[in-house]
Structures are given as structure tokens and as C-alpha cells.
Chains A and B, each alone.
Chain A
Amino acid sequence: MTRGEMLDFVQRVLDAVPVEHAVAELGEERSASVRFGRNAITQNVDTFRRELRLWIGDGSRKTEYRTHRIDTAAIQDMVREAVARLRNSPPDPEYVPPADGGQIYRTVDAWDESTGGIDPGPRMDAAASAVSAAEAAGAEAAGISRMDSSRRALATSTGNLCFHEATAGIFQLTVLAGSGSSYRSTVSKAWSAIPVRRIVDEVVAEALSARNPADSQPGEIDVVLEPQAVADLVSFVLYSLNARESDEGLTVFTGREGSRVASERFTLESDMNGEVPGTPFDRDGFAADDQVWIESGVLRTMMRDRFWAGKTGLPAVVSPGCFSVPGGEGTAADLAAQSRRCLRIRRFWYIRFVDQKTLTLTGMTRDGVFLCENGSVTPVKDFRWNWKPLELFSRIEALGTPERKGFMTVPPMLLRSIPV
């Protein structure tokens, strides 16, 4: 459907709703990917979903209905079904109507026309390039080349009407070379911005250099986290930035707004028009905006839904879907050179909360750990760790150049004296 058709459809749904409050959202998602493993294509897919979400409320009760049956002629049936469900709903003591009318939405350019065309050629060429380079090096490639597009139209009974569309090109590559491996995940709104050939060459070379790792030794040591490893940890900090759960005593941030929670070198913010494009509105039609969550180590704000905002007298804060940790200059290797002896870690795997209250995590290293000492770089084996990321981010000695990793941009970090 075109943008105009999608907006017209959600408006028609709203027009048919006989109760006071409603939000109609129509979404389309197309995702196409080539997956490869052990130097062979294992998947080659092109999927499409279109879904209508209808939320209705009468001032005290609410309900939500979702369907794939998108048909203008069936709107009355859908609305009748939703209204019948509403009658069975109990009063909601936390009832909040859709976002007030007159929301001002940020303009975010998240669409790349070429990527949105979902052409299979570049995906297959990228996979073939990785496989042939790995085979030539006597290694095995696994990964995915993927193009996604999504489009959302949303209308509220309070008078808001909004549309957002986004594309993403994603190239992930793992190369296995005997006991060595390496990994890279690259995301951009434009597939054409992903330097496939350079990534393939780097990852193959890194995997070869990671062969025959030595045992890692327990003790305190400087650690350089590559951007992927930083992103893996920051996502758990984001998960804990929940104002209500903090007020209920359940997170590490309870009672700490305005207090220092990390090094002054650590800032966590959202820039709607940064390298990761933001999402201009939430599911209620509430406008998202730039935020500073942690500023120079001090906790400034958390995500706060509109009910909790009303209850606490503080502003509502929604996730804009994009996050960044500002950095400095240089690569992870440059940071490692600033330490006499350090471990450089490429990424983590299977991170889980050990204790949500103290934000204690466990996880494993994966696809590259190196002991860097007096100019030499030696691969070492993966190890399990139990760390508190805010303690790690309190020991930042230096930051490198940020890179996009998924929905955030983060720099490599040099951390002093970390127990491993």
C-alpha cells in the first residue's frame, strides 16, 4: 500500500469506531535475507507481513485487537469485534487515553529507496563473496546479508495522524579458521553503505590470527572492549532505565536520579537524527524526542510511561529507538596500545541477569579475545565472566571512535583493572 492508502485506511478505521478513544495502526514489514553457513547457502527468504492494531477505550476500559485481515470492506466487522471485547474488559485503574492531539513529530529520514527495493542480487553477491574468501583461506564462513523495510501509519481519536518508514541493510559475518574465529555485524539504513569487501577481508584475516588461543589467566587486567562488546553490555543498562521499576525498588537505579552511576567519561543519549535514525512516535501516538539518559556519568532520566508520569508528576519519556554513547578518536587497537598489558574482547555471548537489582550480569566472550602486551598480540580462550556493567563503565580510561551496532552507536573502551 502507498503512504496515502495506509493513512487513509487507519483514518477510516477510526471513523468507524463508536467509542471515545481509539488508536489505529497499520504496519507493513518486508524482510529479505540470504543466510549462509559452512560455506553454503542455507536460507534465502523474502517475507512480508501487514497487520492492523486497533486499540479502543471508553474512558475507563480498554482493549486491543490485532489482525492480518486488511480489507476496507471488513472494517465494520473488525470494529464490531473490538467493541464486543471492550464490553468484557474490566475498568483499568491506570487508564490513559491516546496521546493528546497536536503532537509534533520529529522528521526522521530513515528510508533508503534502493534498500527498500529489496533486490536479491546484492544480498546473494555478499554471501558469495564471504564464502569464496573463506574457502580461499581454508576457513568457513557463516552469516547473513539482509534488507528490511518497514512502514507504519497511525491515527488517534485525539487528532494525531503520523507515518514513518525505515530501511535497514544488515551484513553479519562469522569466519571460523580452525580454533580461531572472528565476527562483524554492520547495519546501515542503506545497503550500499556497507563495505562488504572490506569486512570480508578483515574478518577472514582476524579469524586466521585468532587460531591456537592460550588459556586466559584469572586476575585483574586492563580490558579493551570493541564496539560490539560495548553494545552488548549497554543494552542491559537500557533495560534497567525504567522509571516505574526503579521507583518500585527493583532496579539498580532506584533513588539514583541525579546521582553518579558511571565514569564522567560515560554519556548515554538519544539523537533522533543521529547515525541510527529514531522512531518519531510510540504506539499511543506520543511524540519521541532526543534524550540524555546518563550525562557524564550522572543519571538524568529514565523511560517513563504516561501513567507513571502522571502519578509521579514527572514528564513522560518514551524510547526513541536509537541510542548512542559518544566517544573519542581511534580504534580498539589504538586503545590497546595505551595499556602496557590488556585483554581485547570482540564480543560477548549469552549475557543474562544474575541479579537485576544490582545489575549484575554473566556471559561468555566470543569470536576473539586477545592478550596485548608490549606490542605483541596473542589470542586467548573464551572465558565466563560475572560483571556489573556500571562498575565497568566507572573504570573508563579512554574512548575510541563510535560505530553503529544495531540500534546504537558506541565507541571502543579502554577499562582499567577489571577482574577476569
Chain B
Amino acid sequence: MRELAAFAVSELAASGVEYGDARVEDRAVESMTFRGMRLEDAVDSTSEGVGVRAIVNGCWGFASSTGLDREAVSTAVERAVRIAASGAGKTGSRVRLSAQTPRMGSYSSPCIEDPFGVDKSEKMGLLEECSRIMNSDSAITSTYAQLHSERIDRVLASTEGTLVESHLIHTQPFLQAFAVHGGDAQSRSLQTGARAAGWEWIRENDLLAASERVRDEAIEKVMAPEGPSGVMDLVLDGLNLSLTMHESVGHATESDRALGWEANMAGRTFVRLSDPGSLRYGSDIVNFTADNTMPIGLASWGWDDDGTPCQKWHTVRNGIFQEFGTVRETALLVGRDASRGCCRAQDFGFFPINRQPNFYLEPSLEPVTPDDLISGIARGIFIQGRGSFSIDQNRVNFQFGGDFFREIRDGKLGGPLKKVLYGARTTEFWGACDGIADARFFQPMGLLTCGKGEPMQGARMTHGASPARFRGITVGGGVR
């Protein structure tokens, strides 16, 4: 792979491009899904190819091809240079990249036990037992149990002299049970998500115990009364908040949205280029830390697809917005000298774009438990996990659900509820946060499938939070 990447760069340099880089990738995916008591899907796939970027007279060109041979590389280089030349001067704008010192090195994500080394029969046996547990009650009509593992080996080389490697292992378990009762259907899931880790992440999830919990809570949920409507206080767990922060903070603070580059598809953002350092995003206790160096993070690659080292910084500090996530091309346009290393593509076949980093809500430094948060609520709801989610294209108006709900009355947890929605406007919502539990209760959650860009491509990153309390939130829909 290193030899092919170097070959691509030499071809790019020989063609006289202003800048060029090549990503050579080799991926393996193993995915097994039980639907009910049946192994519905068992897919093994390998994926290998090269993606080449070139700048000619200030215009990008990108081409990719499957296959790891010199012919595929040469074809990709030739196409990238040709289409870059075809676009040069067509719109009067020129691509400029922020400066980046050439890097050399190798990064490997943590992995104690290689998931590809675990016998398939052990994996299938585990999923079959999970399915048996979830289907052991007649109220459950449908279940899913899944294990997903990926190995990603990637080499990035550029005409500036960068030559870096990433070797990543990502692993994800998933369980879901649907219960039917009285003409209604409700589901409960295991949503701990993916992690840069090996089979140890599967063991840590204790899937057999989780199967019992998912089964029982799906039944509790379908038999529960519907949630109330009105303005009330909420305690949201880390898994629920992972999606809320992803949509209302992560996407809102991507520099390409602020620049209007996503206006046709993913949308724009209410955050303006002049807002860093002054926009109040949340209450004083709200701190969002972006961290592409966290070992378990799905966006921790060592270097991004610009060759920029992964970094850690504050997106929001003491409630004030600090900085956009950037790539080399956008950094200069939003007034920064250097990129924050947020340039990533789904794989070699996609042009890398500005993606969210790993980021999380900082837990309280003082001892605070979820019970402490609940005890301060006269009437409210405790929401666990992710459910329905929708937000406007400017990332202002959102409506979220959850996966499991419990009433809060007079400072204590009550019975389960179903069909709960909460809605708010982004800065008002984070401004209503008046309590966050401490790090003992922190839950990270890795997403494998954040869609953005055209052609649509996926990205992965990790979020996280401890349970947090929000005052005076509209529940039951109704936020226009």
C-alpha cells in the first residue's frame, strides 16, 4: 500500500499539479444479523482501492478506483488531473489550503482482542442465545441481534511529503426487540454504539444480560401510558444526548455549513462566521470538547484525510462557542491559520469533506449523581437512548424522542411511559441545562453512519455525556 501511494504521488508530481494526494485503503467487514431465531445476514466483504485528489490551476479533481494495482492508480491519477483541468477557471474561485507541515508516522487504534480472530461459531452462538432470550416472551414479535466489525488499513501520501498510515479496528453490537400489545408496537434497543476497540467491547456489553433488559423494557414500554404534553423538566442520559449534541452542536459548528457549501443538501447553520468567542450556546456549565485523540473515538485516525494531525480543542467553553471544526480548505476561509483536522471521507471512493470530530459534553467536576438531578424535579421525564430525531436545516429547531422513558414525580422516578417527544431551539435548550452528572456516569456512544455530502457519504465519530438536566422544555411536540 505504501508503495502504491508513493507511486500515485510520483505520477501526480510528474503531471505538474499544484497539490495532490492519494489514499490507498484495504478494508474488511464482518457483519452478522439474527432476525428472530434466524441468521438473516452473514456478510464478509473486502474492499480495496485508491482515491486521488489533485489541484490544477486552483480547481479540485478527484478520482477513485477499486483495485490495488498500478493500472488502477494510473487511471485514477489521469482522471483526477483531467477533470481538475476541465474545471479550472470556470467560476473565478481558486482552492487555497492552509499550511500543513508534512507528516510521517503510523497510528493504530486500541484493540486487545482482534474481532476477526474470534471464531465465527462463537459469534453466532452468542447472537443465537441473545435472540432466544429476547424471544422468550410471546409479547415480542420481532427481534434483531447484530455484531459488526471492521478493519481499516489506510495509507495517505501527498505531494507535500506527507506519508502516514492508520490501522483501525471498529466493533459494534446491536440488539432490538419489538413488542406488540393492544394494537400498538414499541421497541427497545441496545444503543451503546460502535467503538474503536476489539472483541473486548462486545464482552463489556454483556449481551446476554442486555437481551433480558431489552426484552423486558420493550414489553414495559408497549404497555405503558403515553407520555404527557406540556412544559416540564427533563433528565437525558448520555446516549440520548449523544444524538441531540450530534445534530444541534456537531453539525451546527461544521465550517463548511457556515460557508454555505452544504446549502443544497445537508443545509446551513445558524452559527455565523463572526460568532467564535461571543455566541452564547448554552449555560455556563455547558462545555463541549472536541477530541480526535481519544483512543476509543471513531474519528481518531492519527491524521485526517488532509494529513492534518488529530487534535483536541473546545467547541463550547463555559457556554460560549469557541471554534468551528475545519479542514485545510475551510480553515483560511473562517479566519484560522490551520486546520483542526476534520477532513474525512467514507472510504477511498469519496472526496473527503468537513466532518464532525469526536466530541462530548464535559461531566461535572463536582460529585453529582443522576438521582441528585432527578431529586430536583417536581414534574418531568427521564429519557434514555435515542428515538425519533429531526432538526431543521439551520440546526435551530429540533424534535427528539428516546428509546425508554420514565416519569419523574416529586423528585422520584415513576413508571414507564411511551411516545414522548421533546422539542426546542438549540441555544435555548443548551441554555436550560442546569445540572450534569459526574464522570462516573459518562456514556460514550459511537456513530458509524452520519450521512452528509453529495454523493451522500457516511462518517463515523464518537460522542458522549453524563446524564444532564434541562429545565422548562416543551414535551409532546408543538415547537414550530
Contact = CB atoms under 8 A, between A and B. Distances in A.
Interface of A: 31-51, 62-70, 85, 88-90, 92-94, 120-121, 124, 127-128, 131-132, 140, 142-144, 146, 172-174, 176, 181, 183, 216, 218, 245, 248-250, 349-357, 362-364, 366, 382-384, 386
Given A45-B62, A67-B45, A384-B423, A352 B390 contact: yes
B62 A50 contact: no
Contact of B184 (A31, A64, A357): A357
B264 A143 contact: yes
Contacts of A39: 91, 93
Contacts of A132: 91
B175 interface: no
Closest 3 CB pairs of A and B: A37-B261, A40-B93, A142-B263
Interface in B409-447: 419, 421, 423
Contacts of A70: 66-67
Given A127-B91, A142-B261, A93 B390 contact: no
9 contacts: A38-B259, A41-B93, A48-B75, A51-B66, A64-B43, A88-B124, A146-B455, A354-B419, A362-B390
User: Among A66, A92, A218, A355, which residue has the most Cβ atoms of chain B within 10 A?
Assistant: A355
B471 interface: no
Nearest to B259: A38
Interface stretch (B34-42, B230-238, B304-312, B334-342): B34-42
Given A92-B39, A93-B38, A362-B390, A250 B185 contact: yes
B327 to A, nearest CB: 11
A38 B388 contact: no
Given A248-B178, A383-B480, A384-B397, A41 B349 contact: no
B182 to A, nearest CB: 11
B392 A362 contact: no
B343 to A, nearest CB: 13
Interface in B87-127: 87, 90-91, 93, 119-121, 124
Interface stretch (B10-18, B77-85, B359-367): B77-85
A386 B264 CA distance: 24
A142 B260 contact: yes
Nearest to B56: A44
Contacts of A144: 264-265, 454
Contacts of A120: 82-83, 86-87
B3 interface: no
Nearest to A42: B261
Interface stretch (B46-54, B151-159, B285-293): B46-54
A307 to B, nearest CB: 9
Nearest to A216: B480
B59 A48 contact: no
B142 interface: yes
